[in-house]
Amino acid sequence: MMHPFNLQSSTFDIQPINMYEKITEQQIIEKLKQVKDPEIGIDIYTLGLVYKITREEDGVEILMTLTTPLCPFADDLIADVEKKVGSLGYAEGDVRVELTFDPEWVASEEVRMMLGV
């Protein structure tokens, strides 16, 4: 009896799958806009705390800062970023947040107007 598939002569072109390629930078930004600074009440993206978003095959890296190096809410903000961006479909650990204070955060004119200062 002949097998309907001749597997010995078949070749398979197997390409690695980037599970995250359909997640856009704009979708990530929209999630970052849901993360509010608890002291100021404005989202971290509008505040200018997010310096860089790098989409990679194995996840996303977010380079950001805080309003002050001594921010008491740093751990909460990082966890909220990981949770909100992770909700786009990233596996646990595939949303990586790196903090930097170079350059130091300075509120933009727009943010100062929003804060009334």
pLDDT tens digit string along 53-112? Answer: 999 989 999 999 999 999 999 999 999 999 999 999 999 999 999 999 999 999 889 988
59-64, strands of its sheet edge to edge: 50-56, 59-64, 95-99
Give pTM, 2 decimals. 0.81
Domains, the chain: 25-115 (3.30.300.130)
Is the Cβ–Cβ distance between 32 and 85 less than 8 Å?
Answer: yes
Is the backbone of residue 18 left (phi > 0), alpha (psi -120 to 50) or beta? beta
Cα angle value 24/30/33 (rounded, 5°): 145
pLDDT tens digit string along 7-52? Answer: 555 555 555 567 888 999 999 999 999 999 998 899 999 999 999 9
What pLDDT is recorded for position 8?
A: 55
